[in-house]
Protein backbone atom coordinates (compact mmCIF):
# COMPACT_ATOMS: atom_id res chain seq x y z
CA UNK A 1 0.00 0.00 0.00
CA UNK A 2 1.29 3.45 -0.91
CA UNK A 3 1.35 5.35 2.39
CA UNK A 4 2.56 8.57 0.78
CA UNK A 5 -0.69 8.76 -1.11
CA UNK A 6 -3.00 8.03 1.80
CA UNK A 7 -1.24 9.94 4.60
CA UNK A 8 -3.03 13.12 3.50
CA UNK A 9 -6.53 11.73 3.97
CA UNK A 10 -8.67 12.73 6.94
CA UNK A 11 -12.33 12.40 7.88
CA UNK A 12 -13.63 15.98 7.73
CA UNK A 13 -14.80 16.14 11.35
CA UNK A 14 -13.39 13.16 13.25
CA UNK A 15 -9.79 14.02 14.17
CA UNK A 16 -9.33 10.94 16.37
CA UNK A 17 -10.41 8.66 13.55
CA UNK A 18 -7.94 10.41 11.28
CA UNK A 19 -5.05 9.46 13.55
CA UNK A 20 -6.21 5.85 13.62
CA UNK A 21 -6.48 5.77 9.83
CA UNK A 22 -3.00 7.19 9.31
CA UNK A 23 -1.47 4.78 11.85
CA UNK A 24 -3.17 1.78 10.23
CA UNK A 25 -1.99 2.75 6.80
CA UNK A 26 1.54 3.32 8.04
CA UNK A 27 1.60 -0.16 9.56
CA UNK A 28 0.82 -1.81 6.22
CA UNK A 29 3.23 0.30 4.17
CA UNK A 30 6.14 -2.15 4.15
CA UNK A 31 7.38 -1.64 0.60
CA UNK A 32 10.63 0.37 0.57
CA UNK A 33 10.63 3.49 -1.57
CA UNK A 34 12.58 3.23 -4.84
CA UNK A 35 15.86 5.09 -4.85
CA UNK A 36 15.61 8.45 -6.64
CA UNK A 37 17.25 8.56 -10.05
CA UNK A 38 20.79 9.95 -10.15
CA UNK A 39 20.91 13.40 -11.67
CA UNK A 40 23.36 14.27 -14.43
CA UNK A 41 25.97 16.94 -13.83
CA UNK A 42 24.43 20.39 -13.77
CA UNK A 43 25.06 22.39 -16.93
CA UNK A 44 23.70 25.94 -16.36
CA UNK A 45 22.12 26.84 -19.68
CA UNK A 46 19.88 29.48 -18.09
CA UNK A 47 21.21 31.94 -15.51
CA UNK A 48 19.38 32.55 -12.24
CA UNK A 49 20.62 34.71 -9.36
CA UNK A 50 19.56 35.05 -5.77
CA UNK A 51 18.23 38.58 -5.15
CA UNK A 52 17.38 38.28 -1.45
CA UNK A 53 16.37 35.97 1.35
CA UNK A 54 14.73 36.25 4.76
CA UNK A 55 13.99 33.75 7.52
CA UNK A 56 10.74 32.62 9.06
CA UNK A 57 10.18 29.78 11.56
CA UNK A 58 10.01 26.23 10.20
CA UNK A 59 7.19 25.16 7.89
CA UNK A 60 5.75 21.67 8.53
CA UNK A 61 2.36 21.86 6.80
CA UNK A 62 1.54 21.84 3.06
CA UNK A 63 2.28 25.53 2.58
CA UNK A 64 0.82 27.72 -0.12
CA UNK A 65 2.51 31.07 -0.78
CA UNK A 66 0.24 33.93 -1.86
CA UNK A 67 1.14 36.73 -4.27
CA UNK A 68 -0.61 40.01 -5.03
CA UNK A 69 1.37 42.19 -7.42
CA UNK A 70 4.86 42.54 -5.93
CA UNK A 71 3.74 41.63 -2.42
CA UNK A 72 4.26 38.08 -1.12
CA UNK A 73 2.62 36.65 2.00
CA UNK A 74 4.04 33.58 3.73
CA UNK A 75 3.15 31.76 6.92
CA UNK A 76 5.08 29.46 9.27
CA UNK A 77 3.77 26.56 11.31
CA UNK A 78 3.97 28.46 14.61
CA UNK A 79 1.52 31.14 13.39
CA UNK A 80 4.06 33.67 12.10
CA UNK A 81 2.80 35.64 9.10
CA UNK A 82 5.11 37.86 7.04
CA UNK A 83 4.37 40.33 4.23
CA UNK A 84 7.35 40.81 1.88
CA UNK A 85 8.00 43.27 -0.92
CA UNK A 86 9.43 40.97 -3.62
CA UNK A 87 11.17 43.84 -5.38
CA UNK A 88 13.54 44.48 -2.49
CA UNK A 89 13.09 41.46 -0.25
CA UNK A 90 12.20 43.78 2.63
CA UNK A 91 9.58 42.81 5.18
CA UNK A 92 6.59 45.15 5.19
CA UNK A 93 5.50 43.64 8.48
CA UNK A 94 5.58 40.50 10.60
CA UNK A 95 2.92 39.30 13.04
CA UNK A 96 1.53 36.18 14.67
CA UNK A 97 -1.95 34.75 14.17
CA UNK A 98 -2.08 33.64 17.81
CA UNK A 99 -2.14 29.90 17.07
CA UNK A 100 -0.33 27.43 14.80
CA UNK A 101 -1.40 27.58 11.16
CA UNK A 102 -3.18 24.72 9.40
CA UNK A 103 -2.58 25.97 5.84
CA UNK A 104 -0.98 28.78 3.89
CA UNK A 105 -2.17 32.38 3.82
CA UNK A 106 -4.23 34.45 1.39
CA UNK A 107 -3.77 38.15 0.67
CA UNK A 108 -4.78 41.04 -1.59
CA UNK A 109 -1.46 42.78 -0.96
CA UNK A 110 -2.70 44.56 2.16
CA UNK A 111 -5.05 42.31 4.14
CA UNK A 112 -3.81 38.81 4.98
CA UNK A 113 -6.02 35.91 6.10
CA UNK A 114 -4.92 32.62 7.63
CA UNK A 115 -6.57 29.55 9.12
CA UNK A 116 -5.30 28.04 12.36
CA UNK A 117 -5.33 24.59 13.92
CA UNK A 118 -7.90 26.02 16.38
CA UNK A 119 -10.41 26.11 13.47
CA UNK A 120 -10.31 29.89 13.21
CA UNK A 121 -9.93 32.28 10.31
CA UNK A 122 -7.72 35.21 11.32
CA UNK A 123 -7.33 38.50 9.43
CA UNK A 124 -4.15 40.57 9.80
CA UNK A 125 -3.20 43.97 8.43
CA UNK A 126 -0.19 46.20 9.02
CA UNK A 127 1.29 43.71 11.45
CA UNK A 128 -1.80 43.49 13.69
CA UNK A 129 -4.67 41.04 14.07
CA UNK A 130 -7.90 42.71 12.91
CA UNK A 131 -10.31 39.93 13.83
CA UNK A 132 -10.74 36.19 14.24
CA UNK A 133 -13.81 33.99 13.75
CA UNK A 134 -14.57 30.35 14.51
CA UNK A 135 -15.08 28.01 11.55
CA UNK A 136 -17.39 25.00 11.30
CA UNK A 137 -14.45 22.61 10.72
CA UNK A 138 -10.73 22.58 9.96
CA UNK A 139 -9.57 24.21 6.73
CA UNK A 140 -6.59 23.03 4.66
CA UNK A 141 -7.01 25.44 1.75
CA UNK A 142 -5.65 28.98 2.25
CA UNK A 143 -8.33 31.69 2.36
CA UNK A 144 -8.93 33.90 -0.66
CA UNK A 145 -8.88 37.68 -0.06
CA UNK A 146 -10.67 39.54 -2.86
CA UNK A 147 -13.16 42.38 -3.19
CA UNK A 148 -12.67 43.43 0.46
CA UNK A 149 -13.88 39.98 1.54
CA UNK A 150 -12.28 36.82 2.89
CA UNK A 151 -13.50 33.52 1.43
CA UNK A 152 -12.87 30.22 3.24
CA UNK A 153 -13.56 26.59 2.42
CA UNK A 154 -13.50 24.05 5.25
CA UNK A 155 -13.18 20.27 5.24
CA UNK A 156 -16.93 19.78 5.81
CA UNK A 157 -17.52 21.39 2.37
CA UNK A 158 -18.69 24.70 3.83
CA UNK A 159 -17.76 27.78 1.79
CA UNK A 160 -18.13 31.10 3.59
CA UNK A 161 -17.58 34.82 2.98
CA UNK A 162 -16.48 37.31 5.64
CA UNK A 163 -16.17 41.09 5.64
CA UNK A 164 -12.45 41.80 5.40
CA UNK A 165 -12.40 44.69 7.88
CA UNK A 166 -14.97 43.63 10.49
CA UNK A 167 -15.04 39.82 10.32
CA UNK A 168 -18.81 39.81 9.92
CA UNK A 169 -19.97 36.65 8.20
CA UNK A 170 -21.75 37.61 4.97
CA UNK A 171 -22.89 34.17 3.86
CA UNK A 172 -22.20 30.48 4.33
CA UNK A 173 -23.14 27.57 2.08
CA UNK A 174 -22.58 23.90 2.91
CA UNK A 175 -22.67 20.89 0.63
CA UNK A 176 -22.93 17.28 1.74
CA UNK A 177 -19.46 16.29 3.01
CA UNK A 178 -17.74 13.04 2.03
CA UNK A 179 -16.43 10.57 4.62
CA UNK A 180 -12.84 11.44 3.66
CA UNK A 181 -11.25 14.64 2.39
CA UNK A 182 -7.70 15.59 1.52
CA UNK A 183 -5.49 17.24 4.12
CA UNK A 184 -4.03 19.33 1.30
CA UNK A 185 -4.74 22.74 -0.22
CA UNK A 186 -7.32 22.83 -2.99
CA UNK A 187 -8.41 25.49 -5.49
CA UNK A 188 -10.07 28.69 -4.28
CA UNK A 189 -9.68 31.70 -6.58
CA UNK A 190 -11.46 34.54 -8.36
CA UNK A 191 -12.29 34.23 -12.05
CA UNK A 192 -13.86 37.46 -13.27
CA UNK A 193 -16.92 37.98 -11.09
CA UNK A 194 -17.06 34.31 -10.09
CA UNK A 195 -15.60 32.55 -7.06
CA UNK A 196 -14.19 29.18 -8.15
CA UNK A 197 -13.46 26.29 -5.81
CA UNK A 198 -13.19 22.52 -5.80
CA UNK A 199 -15.88 20.24 -4.42
CA UNK A 200 -14.84 16.61 -4.67
CA UNK A 201 -13.68 16.10 -8.25
CA UNK A 202 -15.67 19.07 -9.58
CA UNK A 203 -14.61 22.62 -10.31
CA UNK A 204 -17.49 24.82 -9.10
CA UNK A 205 -18.30 28.44 -9.97
CA UNK A 206 -20.03 30.38 -7.17
CA UNK A 207 -21.73 33.77 -7.00
CA UNK A 208 -19.48 35.63 -4.49
CA UNK A 209 -22.37 37.88 -3.42
CA UNK A 210 -24.49 35.11 -1.90
CA UNK A 211 -22.79 31.73 -2.33
CA UNK A 212 -25.20 30.32 -4.89
CA UNK A 213 -23.82 27.94 -7.51
CA UNK A 214 -23.39 29.19 -11.08
CA UNK A 215 -21.89 26.11 -12.69
CA UNK A 216 -20.20 22.80 -11.95
CA UNK A 217 -17.82 20.85 -14.16
CA UNK A 218 -16.31 17.44 -13.28
CA UNK A 219 -12.55 16.96 -13.69
CA UNK A 220 -12.94 13.42 -12.31
CA UNK A 221 -15.82 11.23 -11.09
CA UNK A 222 -15.58 9.01 -7.99
CA UNK A 223 -14.96 5.32 -8.70
CA UNK A 224 -14.29 2.23 -6.63
CA UNK A 225 -15.98 0.46 -3.76
CA UNK A 226 -14.63 2.28 -0.68
CA UNK A 227 -14.05 5.85 0.49
CA UNK A 228 -10.33 5.85 -0.30
CA UNK A 229 -10.77 4.57 -3.86
CA UNK A 230 -13.56 7.09 -4.47
CA UNK A 231 -11.57 10.13 -3.28
CA UNK A 232 -10.94 12.51 -6.20
CA UNK A 233 -10.63 15.92 -4.50
CA UNK A 234 -9.16 18.70 -6.60
CA UNK A 235 -5.76 19.64 -5.27
CA UNK A 236 -3.18 22.40 -5.55
CA UNK A 237 -2.76 25.21 -8.04
CA UNK A 238 -5.04 25.82 -11.03
CA UNK A 239 -3.63 27.04 -14.36
CA UNK A 240 -5.61 29.97 -15.80
CA UNK A 241 -5.10 31.28 -19.33
CA UNK A 242 -7.99 33.36 -20.64
CA UNK A 243 -11.19 31.37 -20.05
CA UNK A 244 -9.27 28.09 -19.73
CA UNK A 245 -9.10 26.76 -16.14
CA UNK A 246 -7.04 23.57 -15.74
CA UNK A 247 -6.86 21.55 -12.52
CA UNK A 248 -5.78 18.22 -11.07
CA UNK A 249 -8.01 15.64 -9.38
CA UNK A 250 -6.04 13.71 -6.76
CA UNK A 251 -4.52 10.55 -8.26
CA UNK A 252 -7.17 10.54 -10.99
CA UNK A 253 -7.13 13.12 -13.79
CA UNK A 254 -5.90 16.45 -15.10
CA UNK A 255 -8.50 18.44 -17.01
CA UNK A 256 -9.47 21.85 -18.37
CA UNK A 257 -12.78 23.74 -18.03
CA UNK A 258 -14.11 26.69 -20.03
CA UNK A 259 -14.71 29.10 -17.14
CA UNK A 260 -16.97 31.40 -19.17
CA UNK A 261 -19.47 28.58 -19.71
CA UNK A 262 -18.58 26.18 -16.91
CA UNK A 263 -18.15 23.26 -19.30
CA UNK A 264 -15.49 20.56 -19.42
CA UNK A 265 -13.13 20.81 -22.41
CA UNK A 266 -11.08 17.68 -21.69
CA UNK A 267 -9.96 15.37 -18.89
CA UNK A 268 -7.08 12.88 -19.03
CA UNK A 269 -5.82 10.23 -16.57
CA UNK A 270 -2.94 11.44 -14.39
CA UNK A 271 -1.46 10.02 -11.21
CA UNK A 272 -0.31 12.80 -8.92
CA UNK A 273 -1.18 14.93 -5.91
CA UNK A 274 0.18 18.39 -6.76
CA UNK A 275 -1.42 21.21 -8.72
CA UNK A 276 -0.63 22.31 -12.25
CA UNK A 277 0.84 25.29 -14.08
CA UNK A 278 0.61 26.26 -17.71
CA UNK A 279 0.77 28.64 -20.64
CA UNK A 280 -1.23 29.08 -23.83
CA UNK A 281 0.27 25.90 -25.31
CA UNK A 282 0.65 23.41 -22.48
CA UNK A 283 -0.50 22.40 -19.00
CA UNK A 284 2.38 21.18 -16.84
CA UNK A 285 2.30 18.81 -13.88
CA UNK A 286 4.43 16.51 -11.72
CA UNK A 287 3.38 12.90 -11.17
CA UNK A 288 3.70 10.56 -8.19
CA UNK A 289 6.68 8.74 -9.71
CA UNK A 290 8.65 11.97 -10.29
CA UNK A 291 7.76 12.33 -13.97
CA UNK A 292 7.12 15.82 -15.32
CA UNK A 293 4.40 15.96 -17.99
CA UNK A 294 3.18 18.57 -20.47
CA UNK A 295 -0.35 18.16 -21.83
CA UNK A 296 -1.55 20.17 -24.83
CA UNK A 297 -3.91 22.81 -23.51
CA UNK A 298 -6.21 22.51 -26.53
CA UNK A 299 -7.05 18.80 -26.27
CA UNK A 300 -5.12 17.21 -23.36
CA UNK A 301 -2.83 15.05 -25.48
CA UNK A 302 0.67 14.60 -24.06
CA UNK A 303 3.21 16.90 -25.68
CA UNK A 304 6.23 15.60 -23.75
CA UNK A 305 7.25 13.76 -20.60
CA UNK A 306 10.57 13.53 -18.77
CA UNK A 307 11.61 10.92 -16.23
CA UNK A 308 14.81 12.70 -15.25
CA UNK A 309 13.49 13.06 -11.66
CA UNK A 310 12.11 9.54 -11.32
CA UNK A 311 11.09 8.74 -7.73
CA UNK A 312 11.84 12.24 -6.45
CA UNK A 313 9.08 14.03 -4.53
CA UNK A 314 8.36 17.16 -6.56
CA UNK A 315 6.34 20.33 -6.00
CA UNK A 316 3.91 21.62 -8.56
CA UNK A 317 5.74 23.47 -11.35
CA UNK A 318 5.83 27.20 -12.10
CA UNK A 319 6.02 28.34 -15.73
CA UNK A 320 8.27 31.42 -16.04
CA UNK A 321 9.79 32.75 -19.25
CA UNK A 322 11.10 29.78 -21.19
CA UNK A 323 11.46 27.57 -18.12
CA UNK A 324 9.54 25.42 -15.65
CA UNK A 325 10.70 25.79 -12.05
CA UNK A 326 10.15 22.80 -9.74
CA UNK A 327 11.28 22.12 -6.16
CA UNK A 328 11.95 18.73 -4.61
CA UNK A 329 12.15 17.11 -1.18
CA UNK A 330 15.98 16.96 -1.23
CA UNK A 331 16.20 20.76 -1.31
CA UNK A 332 16.92 21.21 -5.02
CA UNK A 333 15.16 23.63 -7.37
CA UNK A 334 15.15 22.51 -11.01
CA UNK A 335 14.78 24.69 -14.11
CA UNK A 336 13.52 22.83 -17.19
CA UNK A 337 12.71 23.88 -20.74
CA UNK A 338 8.99 24.45 -21.28
CA UNK A 339 9.43 23.19 -24.84
CA UNK A 340 10.70 19.68 -24.11
CA UNK A 341 11.50 19.25 -20.39
CA UNK A 342 15.27 19.27 -20.82
CA UNK A 343 17.28 20.62 -17.84
CA UNK A 344 18.44 24.24 -17.94
CA UNK A 345 19.89 24.66 -14.43
CA UNK A 346 19.43 23.71 -10.79
CA UNK A 347 20.07 25.47 -7.49
CA UNK A 348 20.07 24.64 -3.76
CA UNK A 349 18.52 27.41 -1.60
CA UNK A 350 19.42 26.12 1.90
CA UNK A 351 19.52 22.33 1.63
CA UNK A 352 16.13 21.63 3.25
CA UNK A 353 13.07 20.39 1.37
CA UNK A 354 11.16 22.88 -0.74
CA UNK A 355 7.93 23.55 1.19
CA UNK A 356 5.70 25.06 -1.50
CA UNK A 357 5.30 25.35 -5.22
CA UNK A 358 7.42 28.28 -6.44
CA UNK A 359 5.49 31.49 -7.15
CA UNK A 360 6.18 34.55 -9.29
CA UNK A 361 5.91 38.07 -7.82
CA UNK A 362 6.70 40.71 -10.42
CA UNK A 363 9.97 39.50 -11.92
CA UNK A 364 11.00 37.51 -8.83
CA UNK A 365 10.58 33.76 -8.27
CA UNK A 366 9.91 33.10 -4.57
CA UNK A 367 10.99 29.79 -2.99
CA UNK A 368 10.12 28.70 0.57
CA UNK A 369 11.92 25.85 2.35
CA UNK A 370 10.95 23.61 5.27
CA UNK A 371 13.64 25.23 7.43
CA UNK A 372 11.97 28.62 6.95
CA UNK A 373 14.12 30.10 4.23
CA UNK A 374 12.29 32.50 1.91
CA UNK A 375 14.38 33.20 -1.20
CA UNK A 376 13.88 35.57 -4.10
CA UNK A 377 15.49 34.54 -7.41
CA UNK A 378 15.57 36.29 -10.76
CA UNK A 379 16.07 34.21 -13.92
CA UNK A 380 18.40 35.88 -16.41
DSSP string, 141-182: SPPEEETTEEEEE-TTSEEEEEETTT--EEEEEE-PPPS-EE
Q: Are 40 and 343 contacting, i.e. CB atoms less than 8 angstroms apart?
A: yes
Residue 90 bridge partners (DSSP): 85
Q: What is the mean pLDDT of each run of 10 residues along the chain (380 residues)?
A: 48 39 39 83 96 94 80 94 95 96 94 96 97 95 96 95 98 86 92 96 97 96 84 94 97 97 97 96 97 98 97 96 96 97 97 94 95 94
C-alpha distances in angstroms, 30 versus 1, 3, 25, 109, 310?
Answer: 8, 9, 10, 46, 20
What pTM was estimated for this model as a whole?
A: 0.91
CA angle 351, 318, 3 (to 5 degrees): 65
Report the pLDDT value the prediction gives residue 17, as an integer from 0 to 100. 34
Q: Are 72 and 112 contacting, i.e. CB atoms less than 8 angstroms apart?
A: no
Q: What is the mean pLDDT of the chain?
A: 90
Residue 123 bridge partners (DSSP): 113, 131
Q: Which residues contact 98 (CB under 8 A, 6 or more apart)?
A: 79, 116, 122, 129, 132
The pLDDT tens digits of the residues spanning 240-293 come to 999 999 999 999 999 999 999 999 999 999 999 999 999 999 999 999 999 999
The pLDDT tens digits of the residues spanning 78-110 come to 999 999 999 999 999 999 999 999 999 999 999
The pLDDT tens digits of the residues spanning 149-160 come to 999 999 999 999
Domain borders along the chain are 1-33
Amino acid sequence: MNFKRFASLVPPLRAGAALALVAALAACSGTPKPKPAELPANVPLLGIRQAWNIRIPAVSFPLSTDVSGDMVSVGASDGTVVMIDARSGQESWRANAGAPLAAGVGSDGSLVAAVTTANEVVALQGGKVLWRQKLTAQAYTPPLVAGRRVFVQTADRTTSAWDGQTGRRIWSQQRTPENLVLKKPGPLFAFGDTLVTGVGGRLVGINPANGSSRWESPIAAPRGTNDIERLVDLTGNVSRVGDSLCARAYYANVGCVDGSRGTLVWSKPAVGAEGVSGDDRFVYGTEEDGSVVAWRRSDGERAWQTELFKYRVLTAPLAVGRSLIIGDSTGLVHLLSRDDGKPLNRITPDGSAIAAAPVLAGNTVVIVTRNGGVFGYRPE
